[in-house]
Each structure stands twice: as structure tokens, then as C-alpha cells.
Chains A and B, each alone.
Chain A
Amino acid sequence: MTVTEQSRRTAKAPRTTRTRRTAKATAPAWQPRTDPAPLLPEVEPHRVLGTGAKLDPELMSGLYAELVRGRRYNQQATALTKQGRLAVYPSTTGQEACEIAAAKVLRDQDWLFPSYRDTLAAVARGLDPVQALTLLRGDWHSGYDPRECRIAPLSTPLATQLPHAVGLAHAARLKGDDVVALAMVGDGGTSEGDFHEALNFAAVWQAPVVFLVQNNGYAISVPLEKQTAAPTLAHKGVGYGIPGRLVDGNDVAAVYEVLAEAVERARSGGGPTLVEAVTYRMDAHTNADDATRYREDAEVEAWRAHDPVALLERELTERGMLDEAGIEAARAAAEEMAAALRERMNEDAVLDPMDLFAHVYEERTTQLREQERLLRAELEAAEADASEGDQH
């Protein structure tokens, strides 16, 4: 018996003398819009590694190579901040399983909506890392054509990219296109109004969108218990009529499985899914942050023992799906990526100050043309001064 049937029954007024006498006063029939039970998330985060579940060897070795590469990418990008080659880098060290799985479950025509922390997901999807890091390098706000790679620009204002994902998925569905949007957000972002509005619109429109919340424990310094009183973040879906899924965010096989199911559900017209991946940010919020001010070493160490790269490496080795040669090959490929990235980021960015005026509007306004002339004159004067200085 479904809840709907139950409620229809209970919606009938109880047969008391009073209601018989005043039958016309009976409240209008009421029933819940949907049965909440199937929307509830898992009791424990879903796990695959260590459970003896069947693993697809090809998929796993691919994910392993990406995890190793992702870890190296995080290290390299952090190092680039110390060399002054990146203005800032919000690391996903410890969260690579989520980043990689999010990129890999999507088909070519699907769209990824990353937050500012999710450059790794964009890179794992095939985006040139130099282009992915443009915002954080600071030579422009975004370094790629979103339509070419179907990756929305990194979004810094928290959760504001979620309604974009819903709108895009809705538009694709209106056009009859087979497109799913996967939007990424953190635990802190779930407190934003845009998170709420995006989930609500997605549910009402039954938009083909998947929301991936990486619960890494902290919004900069603020722990989850100060962020929400919800049983889990996945439970937040229930209020919108969206199924919530809870998954171990460091178990790449589990994250991939849950996201793949959610993407398939969206693709087949089943509507949106909210996935909470429980993970941990091993590094500070960014290179500019000091995490020792708000969390204990013991907590960090506990999570280090549940490292996503080590977890898969151990499992695949134990199952005989990975050997020393395989590990070495993955590490060598990662080193190669890091060396190439380092080399390219060490080149000075090519900047044209006139770009500041070029894309504000389709055509520069009279006022912007005046300001462009002003800046050009300043630059020419500075250049003339410099060359005069050279002559002396």
C-alpha cells in the first residue's frame, strides 16, 4: 500500500456524530504530493570498495590513473601558488574521487557546472589545465569557451551556478535534446538560497540535472554542525520531492556508481537527484588559509587513513587488478602532466589591457570607447617615458 492510498483513507473525516451532523463542514480532501519514503537517502554512505562487490577492471584502471593524475595536479597547482604563478588555489586534495567521478560519468553532450574549487573535474573532463586555471592565475575570469567543452565557467558566488544548470537542462529538454547537467557545490553552498531555489525549480520542471554536494566538512573554517541541522545534506532533497543519495565520497567506485545512476535517471526522464558525497578537504581552504586554527590534527589524520587514491590502489592491488608496473605507469603519466603544466604556467601570461573594454557589451558604448582611449593614451605615455629613460 502506498502512502498516497493511505492518506486518501485518512483524509476522510472520522465518523463521529458531530461530522455526520455537519457533513458540509468537512475539510477538502488532502493528500501528500508524493510518497516521501523512496526519496530518503541511504542510512550509511554507500560504499563499493571493500565490500567485495564486482568491479569493472577497465573502468577501475581508468579511474585509478585519473585519481593519481588528479592528486598530482592538486600538488602542482598548490606549488604554483608558492611560486607566484597562481593568485590562489582552492585544493581538492582528498576529494579527487568526487572530482574524477563527476567528470567521468558524463557523456560528451552533457554539461558540467563546476564551482571555483572544481578545476580538477574540468581537467578530468578533458579541458586544458592552463585554460581551467585562468581564473585562479588571474589573467582573465575564465579561460575557455563553455559551449565548446560544455563546462560552465567556474562559479565563485556559492551555489549560484545551480540554477544555471537547471535552466540549461530544462532548455535542452524543451528542445528535445539528450543532455544532462551535473552541478557541483560544497556543504557550505547548501545553505545558500540559490541551492534551495535550484532544487525546487529542478523538481517542479523535472529537469535532467544531478546535484553533487561534496561535503568536505568545512566551509572555509565553519564546520557542518554550524551549517545545518539536517540529518544529512542528502535529506534536503526530500523537501523538494527529489531523491537524496548518500555516498562515501572517497570511494571512487561508489561515487561513480551513484552518479551514473543519477545521470541515467535524469537522462531517461526521471528528473533530478541530489547526491551527498561525504569527503574531506585535506588541505586548507586555499593556500591563503591556515586550517590549524579551526581543526585538529587527529581529525585530519583519521581522514588520511581513508584517502581516495590509496583506497582504490589497495583494493585493486589486492584483487590483482593493479601491479607495480601499473602504479608506476600512472605516476609517470601524472608527472608528465605536472611537468607540462609547470612549464606552461611559468611562461608569463599574454595580457592586452584593451580587452577590459572589448566584451562588456556586444559593441563598446560611447563611454567605454572614451575610457579605452584614455587608457591607451596612458599606456602610450608610459611607453614613451620608458623609452626616453632607456636613452638616458
Chain B
Amino acid sequence: MATAVKAKQVTMAQAINRALRDALAEDPSVHVLGEDVGRLGGVFRITDGLTAEFGEDRCGDTPLAEAGILGTAVGMAMYGLRPVVEMQFDAFAYPSFEQLVSHVSRMRNRTRGAMPMPITIRVPYGGGIGGVEHHSDSSEAYYMATPGLRVYTPATVEDAYGMLREAIACDDPVVFLEPKRLYWSKSADFSLDAPAAVAPPGKAVVRRAGTSATLITYGPSVPVCLEAAQAARAEGRDLEVVDLRSLVPFDDETVAASVRRTGRAVVVHESTGFGGPGGEIAARVTERCFHHLEAPVLRVAGFDIPYPPPMLEKHHLPGVDRILDAVERLQWESEYVAGGAD
């Protein structure tokens, strides 16, 4: 039985490759550009075979300059093309920030809708692969803080395909954050030839239903939270796991509905806690669910430090134990007594 399942298994990397291939095949205005995306097929092999199939004009290497890649993509979009650019690593995307913040995110608004920017910016992000400095950043907070951008991040093979297709078809610019440590995660249910429909972007999904508390998470932390929920059963906790999928737009409705059901919430992400997405999410949950909350919304995030060297990253990344410790701090019994004994 194990062999049969293995034969059908598809990785997230393969699903993303297929999404790009299908988009290129269906829409002649789609163009893939970036560093090493041509003959090599990308450093993660995400664009493998695309240049051979569609030619260099449709999937081609650019000079090594991220601002130039995104800046020229703006011009291509102005002319009616639908560029899909690859930023090789999270931290390598920073040179392109001015184009992103000053033009990509604002062009539609600036021109009162006359000139939308249907650009997809693929960014392999996050840690856990033993990368040296500048290869493991969680840069989502920067993107979330920029109005005009959509920010998607898949956690499953199915979403990787479906959400990327949606992103490319979308007339708004989408920062598509690919959790690089999930590139080799597999799904036995996903078929490359008949991809299943996924929830529309902008909708969060409950990955595991539970009653005790809600873990609100996304991207690379989703499998970690599912594992934590599994482990929590032994401790008598039944945790719900909400996969946000889209950080912008943010699905307040699904998140708040879950927290109202469970009465407790922990936000989990790799990004730094201070100024990170968790603060915004905790505030939104509190604003909407205050009378349903049994405890303050807690955050389990990366430390407020530059991303650590690979030999130390395990201490930085939110793991099952740190998540379960946070769950234990959700004031299951009235621990605080005003003026109580010291």
C-alpha cells in the first residue's frame, strides 16, 4: 500500500511548476522572469523545463538585479503582459522594495484603476532548510504593511497550485510567499492532471477542527501547528488549526468565528514577534472576540533577532513544545488573583 501511495505523490515544488506551466500554456500574456529561471530551472528547480517548452521569451533569465526585474515587470504589465517574477530568496528581494512599494502597489490607485499591475512576485521564504545568512527570512510583515499588495502563502500542495493560478490570474499584484521548507512536502491526493479546486484566495481554512483553543497560523508553520494539535490530544486539549492562506486580504470572519467557538487563541509564525503579523492578528481577534476570550491572545513567533545561523535556527523556529507551552499559558484555571499571595 505504501508503494502505491508513493507512486502518486506530488511535491509542492512540482505543483508550483505545474501551475506555472499551465498558466503559460493557457495565457500568452504570462511571462516568467528572474535569475536562473531559464536553462537551470531555478535554484529550487521550480521553473524546470519551462524554457524548453515555452522558449526564452516566455520564461527567461534576467540580469542579476532584483529592482530591475520588478521594475521591468512593471513596464511589461503596463503594456498588457502578466509577468510572474521570481525572487530567488526572501532576503534577495529587498533591492526590489522601492519598485514594489512605490510603483507595483500604487499604480492602480495612482491611475484610478486605469493601469492595474497584474504581477505575481514569487518569493521562497522562511527557514528550516539550513540556509546561511540571507536565505531564511520571513519578510511577510513588510509586504503586509504595504497597501495595494495581496500577500498569499500556501501551506499545502493543493493550495500551492490553486493559489498560484489565482495569483497569476488576479489583476492585483500578489506577493506569493512559498514556504521553502515545504517545497518537498508531498500530497498523495493531488493529481497534476486534474488539480482539485481550492478555497478562493482571501479565505482562511480550518485545517483541523477543535474545541479547546485556536492556533492561527500560515505557511511553514501550518504543519508544525497540526503536529502540535496532534500532540496536545495527549494533554487533553483539542486544538483547532486555522490556516490563513492569505495575509492580505485578511479573513477576519473565519478567524473570529473559530476563536468565538474555542475562546482561546495562539498566533504562530516564524516571523519576528515585535512588529510582526501576530500583533496585528491578535489585535483584530481581540477587537472582534473580546467577550468570548477566556485568556489574552498569545503569540509564538521567531525571536526578535536577525535570522540565526543554520546551526542555531532550531532554537528560533516555533516548534511543537513552544506552541504547547503557550497553549498551557492560556489561563485554563484562574491563575491570577488580584492582591493574591506572593
Contacts and interface: CB of A to CB of B under 8 A. Distances in A.
Given A166-B72, A367-B249, A142 B110 contact: yes
B143 interface: no
B74 A360 contact: no
B111 interface: yes
A165 B172 CA distance: 20
B71 A198 contact: yes
B95 interface: yes
Contacts of A197: 63, 65, 67-68, 71
Contact of A200 (B68, B73, B106): B68
B148 A360 contact: yes
Interface stretch (A93-101, A145-153, A261-269): A145-153
B114 A164 contact: no
B78 interface: yes
B169 to A, nearest CB: 11
Which bucket holds chain A's interface residue count?
35 or more
Nearest to B99: A160
Contacts, number: 142
Contacts of A162: 71
Given A160-B71, A163-B67, A171 B81 contact: yes
Contact of B110 (A147, A153, A198): A153
Interface string B87-125: 000000001001100110011111111111000000000
B275 interface: no
B150 to A, nearest CB: 7
Interface string B66-88: 01101111111111110100000
A168 B79 contact: yes
A197 to B, nearest CB: 3
Given A164-B103, A194-B71, A197-B65, A174 B78 contact: no
A198 B76 contact: no
Nearest to A357: B109
Contacts of A200: 63, 65, 68
A152 B250 CA distance: 32
**Most chain B beta-carbon neighbours within 10 Å: one of A148, A166, A171:** A171
Contact of B72 (A140, A148, A201): A201
Interface in A127-172: 140-142, 145-148, 152-153, 155, 157, 160, 162-172
A145 B111 CA distance: 7
Nearest to A177: B79
A294 interface: no
B271 to A, nearest CB: 20
A contacts with B: majority SS: helix
B14 to A, nearest CB: 28
A193 interface: yes
**Most chain A beta-carbon neighbours within 10 Å: one of B71, B103, B172, B202:** B71
A251 B237 CA distance: 81
Given A194-B98, A359-B108, A163 B115 contact: no
Interface residues of B, number: 48
**Most chain A beta-carbon neighbours within 10 Å: one of B31, B70, B83, B114:** B114
Given A140-B112, A145-B114, A157-B98, A152 B78 contact: yes
A18 B336 CA distance: 86
B294 interface: no
Contacts of A362: 108, 116, 170-172
A22 interface: no
Nearest to B73: A167
A167 B75 contact: yes
A359 B111 CA distance: 8
A355 B112 contact: yes
**Most chain A beta-carbon neighbours within 10 Å: one of B70, B74, B150, B250:** B74
Nearest to B253: A366
Nearest to A135: B110
Contacts of A141: 106, 109-110
A59 interface: no
Interface string B214-255: 000000000000000000000000000000000011101100
Given A170-B76, A366-B249, A360 B109 contact: yes
Contacts of B114: 145-148
A365 interface: yes
Contact of B99 (A163, A165, A201, A358): A163
Contacts of B68: 163, 166, 194, 197-198, 200-201
Interface string A362-380: 1001110000000000000
A288 interface: no
Nearest to B171: A362
B65 A361 contact: no
Nearest to B79: A171
B180 to A, nearest CB: 26
Interface string B297-327: 0000000000000000000000000000000
B239 to A, nearest CB: 26
Contacts of B67: 163, 193-194, 197
B154 to A, nearest CB: 20
A167 B76 contact: yes
A164 B147 contact: no
A222 interface: no
20 contacts: A140-B110, A145-B114, A146-B78, A153-B111, A162-B71, A163-B70, A164-B74, A164-B78, A165-B75, A166-B68, A166-B75, A168-B76, A168-B78, A170-B72, A171-B81, A194-B98, A201-B65, A361-B172, A365-B249, A367-B252
**3 smallest beta-carbon distances between A and B, as pairs:** A167-B75, A163-B71, A197-B68
Interface of B: 31, 57, 62-63, 65, 67-68, 70-81, 83, 95, 98-99, 102-103, 106-116, 147-148, 150, 170-172, 202, 248-250, 252-253
